[in-house]
Every structure is written in structure tokens, then in C-alpha cells.
């Protein structure tokens, strides 16, 4: 049986960066080489089976924006829909990789592997780490049974839910915190330690979502910001954001999500005004443990940046739900005996079985909507 196709999507990042000198690992310019140029020096990749490439974006990931996210999600869903595609590899910068990984898991909920990889050194370095990371990512994407969005860096496989960049310079710059990695790639072989991300996993009441029609324009996305609690904190930033019409706030609290009293007061005022507020921790490890007296919902283990992504999607979902309700109210009654046709292609294009599964999950989510952040 012929092997299926691997799709490799380029978005730029350090892995595609260039410096004036091979000894310079930090004074480089990111996103200079196209995905085909990166792969030209990796003939071993072609030996594993057919692959196709596409340059979705060419940016330094510190500049990641909603337009690229929407375009990337659309291309991921497009390729996931093809029965000839085994999996997807995405080259990405390290700075916002964890946010993009979580976003794609929450939006696409893939039953196939979507593997993000990166580099801490530019392509022009004396010993670049990008080629090995890319080769490891391709091997994970071709491994039987892999599903969901993961990140592969320095031989370690991380879940999109848990991966965090934890070091500014080391090649092994990512961690999965308390959860630990999913596995390791050792001399081309995958050693799996725990389960792959499941389609329903995203937390914050987003379990059954598959957002296909994301806004293309940044102005059409909800305004969701992150604030932090610290010694001497005040509510000034929250009050300014409230005046600007912010729709969601994630607060990175100290310790177990504790908040300075002045900041807490401003956040409660914003919450009372209709702003969605979520409480995370600024600690690198651990999660906020909820108590019955909490006045602000916790992030259910998500870091502040991932909680922001989840809140963005939750606000979009709420807006779409409101629009759907208005459309339903404006629709004339259907004629007696009329049948609503089922969609020909499941959202995300991953087949009828996944569509039925997502319908079941949607029913479950609707039954628990009152328990979500919204």
C-alpha cells in the first residue's frame, strides 16, 4: 500500500531565519527562507513518503496575528479533509508557538496529527537545530495512531494543551509542566508516554467547538487582554480597558490565582459590566485550585496566554450563538413535513464519523452551557 501524503506548512520563524555570521545565534532576522528552501537540504525527508508544501505565512512569530491564525486554520482544515493526507507539519516561531498550538487544537480538533515544530537557532547557524526538529516532527506526523495538535522540539513531544516556552535561549526551550511530555523521538523512533490530545479537549467550555468561519479582519475579533497581579497593583489598567470596550480579560494572579484587592475590585466591576473575566496564575507550574467562594472563574489549568485564546473563542462562540438565535427568530415557520438537509461535508472536512461525534459532543456541551464561563 502506498504511503499517504504529508503536508508541510511554513509560517516563518527562527527556523527560517538568517544571520550575517554563522556564529551568531541571536542577531538574526526571522522568516527569511521559504519552506521549500528549508527542505532542500533534507533529502532524507522524501525517503519516508510523499509530501507537499505550502507557504501559509512568512513572519516572526512574535508578530503572529488573527489574520494568520484564520488563514492557517483554514488550510489545516482543508488538508485534514483529504483522505490522502496522513498528517500535517507546521514550521513556526518559538515565541507564540504555544498559543497557535492551543488555537488549532480548539478550532480544528483534528483526528489526524498536526505537528508544530520550530528552532532556537537560525538556519545559518553552525549547528542549526531546525532540520532535526523538522525531521522529528515529520516522523511523529507519520506515526500510526497519532492525533491532535502537538509540538515537537529537541526530541520532545508536547501536547498543545500543556506546552509552554520556558527558556529564552536553550535548544530544549519547551516544557509541558506538571503534565509532562507526551513522548520522545529517539533516533527516529517515537516513545510514547501518555495519550494524544482528544478532539473534545480544550477546556473552558469549548469542548465541542470547531470554528471554521473565523473572522478574517482583526477588527472583527473580540478584544481580549491579559493583566497581571503584582505588589502595588491597581485597577487603572482594567478601568482603561473597560473604557475602551474590552470584551474579555484574563488576569495572571499570584500563587493560586490570588489578586491584589485593588485589582480585584476593578475586575469585579468589569465583570458586572458584562466583560468575561478568567483567572489564571503567573506561576510556571501548577494550576489554580478553585474554591466555593471564588468570585472569578479560573482558567481550568490553562496558562494566561492560552486562557486568552480560549476566551477569544468563547466570545466568538457567544456572538455566533446570539446571531444564530436572532436568525432563528427571524426565520418563517417551515412547512409541515419539511426535512432539514444534513450537511454534505462535516465541519473541518474530516468525515461523517467525526461529524456525528461532534454532534454528540455539541449536545453534551449545550446541556452543560450553564456550567461554562459564558
CATH number at residue 14: 3.40.50.1170
Summarize the confidence of residues 197-210 as an average pLDDT.
63
Strands 5-12 vs 51-59: parallel, antiparallel or unpaired: parallel
What is the average pLDDT value for the chain, to the nearest integer?
88
187 and 226 inside one domain: no
123 and 234 inside one domain: no
Residue 213 — very low, low, confident or very high, per pLDDT cuts 50/70/90? Answer: low
**pLDDT per position as a tens digit, 116-169:** 999 999 999 999 999 999 999 999 999 999 999 999 999 999 999 999 999 999
Catalytic residue among 11, 14, 117, 156: 14
Residue 199 — very low, low, confident or very high, per pLDDT cuts 50/70/90? Answer: confident
Query: CA 240 to CA 235: how far, in whole Å?
Result: 9
What percent of the chain has pLDDT above 90?
Answer: 76
Q: Which of the listed residues 311, 326, 341 is the one where a domain comes to its end?
A: 326
110 and 237 inside one domain: no
Domain count, the chain: 2
**pLDDT per position as a tens digit, 28-50:** 999 999 999 999 988 888 888 99
163 and 247 inside one domain: no
What percent of the chain has pLDDT above 70?
Answer: 84
Is the pLDDT at 276 greater than 50? The verdict is: yes
58 in a structural domain? yes
143 and 284 inside one domain: no
Cα separations in angstroms, 76 against 19, 42, 56, 141, 167: 30, 23, 10, 13, 28
**pLDDT per position as a tens digit, 216-265:** 888 899 999 999 999 999 999 999 999 999 999 999 999 999 999 999 99
Range of the domain at 322: 222-326
186 and 232 inside one domain: no
Is-catalytic flag, 14? yes
Is residue 314 within 8 Å of 250, Cβ to Cβ? no
260 and 172 inside one domain: no
169 and 275 inside one domain: no
363 in a structural domain? no
215 in a structural domain? no
96 and 235 inside one domain: no
CATH number at residue 266: 3.40.50.40
Cα separations in angstroms, 226 against 90, 150, 191, 237: 27, 24, 36, 10
159 in a structural domain? yes
| The three grid cell numbers given for residue 11, joined into one nine-digit string | 509560517
Q: Which of the listed residues 136, 170, 192 is the one where a domain comes to its end?
A: 192
338 in a structural domain? no
Is residue 115 within 8 Å of 152, Cβ to Cβ? yes
pLDDT for res 326: 75
**pLDDT per position as a tens digit, 350-361:** 544 444 444 444
Amino acid at each position: 500500500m502506498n504511503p499517504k501524503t504529508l503536508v508541510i506548512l511554513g509560517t516563518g520563524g527562527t527556523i527560517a531565519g538568517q544571520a550575517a555570521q554563522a556564529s551568531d545565534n541571536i542577531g538574526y532576522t526571522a522568516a527569511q527562507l521559504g519552506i521549500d528552501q528549508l527542505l532542500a537540504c533534507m533529502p532524507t525527508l522524501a525517503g519516508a513518503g510523499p509530501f507537499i508544501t505550502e507557504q501559509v505565512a512568512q513572519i516572526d512569530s512574535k508578530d503572529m496575528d488573527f489574520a494568520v491564525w484564520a488563514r492557517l486554520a483554514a488550510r489545516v482544515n482543508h488538508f485534514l479533509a483529504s483522505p490522502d493526507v496522513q498528517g500535517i507539519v507546521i514550521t513556526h516561531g518559538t515565541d507564540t508557538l504555544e498559543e497557535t498550538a492551543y488555537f488549532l487544537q480548539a478550532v480544528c480538533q483534528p483526528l489526524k496529527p498536526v505537528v508544530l515544530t520550530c528552532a532556537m537557532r537560525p538556519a545559518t547557524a553552525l549547528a542549526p537545530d531546525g532540520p532535526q526538529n523538522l525531521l522529528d516532527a515529520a516522523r511523529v506526523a507519520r506515526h500510526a495512531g497519532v492525533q491532535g495538535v502537538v509540538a515537537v522540539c529537541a526530541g520532545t513531544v508536547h501536547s498543545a494543551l500543556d506546552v509552554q516556552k520556558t527558556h529564552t535561549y536553550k535548544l530544549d526551550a519547551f516544557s509541558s509542566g506538571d503534565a509532562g511530555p507526551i513522548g520522545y523521538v529517539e533516533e527516529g523512533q517515537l516513545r510514547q508516554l501518555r495519550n494524544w490530545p482528544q478532539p473534545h479537549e480544550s477546556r473552558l467550555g469549548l469542548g465541542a467547538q470547531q470554528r471554521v468561519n473565523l473572522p478574517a479582519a482583526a477588527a472583527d475579533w473580540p478584544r481580549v487582554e491579559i493583566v497581571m497581579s503584582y505588589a502595588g497593583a491597581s485597577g487603572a489598567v482594567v478601568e482603561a480597558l473597560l473604557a475602551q470596550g474590552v470584551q474579555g480579560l484574563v488576569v495572571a494572579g499570584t500563587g493560586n490565582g490570588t489578586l491584589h484587592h485593588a485589582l480585584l475590585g476593578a475586575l469585579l466591576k468589569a465583570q458586572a459590566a458584562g466583560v468575561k473575566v478568567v483567572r489564571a496564575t503567573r506561576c510556571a507550574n501548577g494550576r489554580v485550585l478553585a474554591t466555593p467562594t471564588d468570585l472569578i472563574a479560573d482558567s481550568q489549568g490553562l496558562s494566561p496566554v492560552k486562557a486568552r485564546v480560549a476566551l477569544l473563542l468563547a466570545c466568538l462562540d457567544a456572538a455566533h450563538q446570539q446571531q444564530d438565535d436572532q436568525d432563528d427568530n427571524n426565520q418563517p415557520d417551515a412547512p409541515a413535513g419539511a426535512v432539514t438537509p444534513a450537511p454534505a461535508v462535516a465541519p473541518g472536512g474530516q468525515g461523517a464519523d467525526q461529524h456525528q461525534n461532534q454532534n454528540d459532543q455539541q449536545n453534551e456541551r449545550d446541556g452543560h452551557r450553564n456550567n461554562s464561563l459564558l
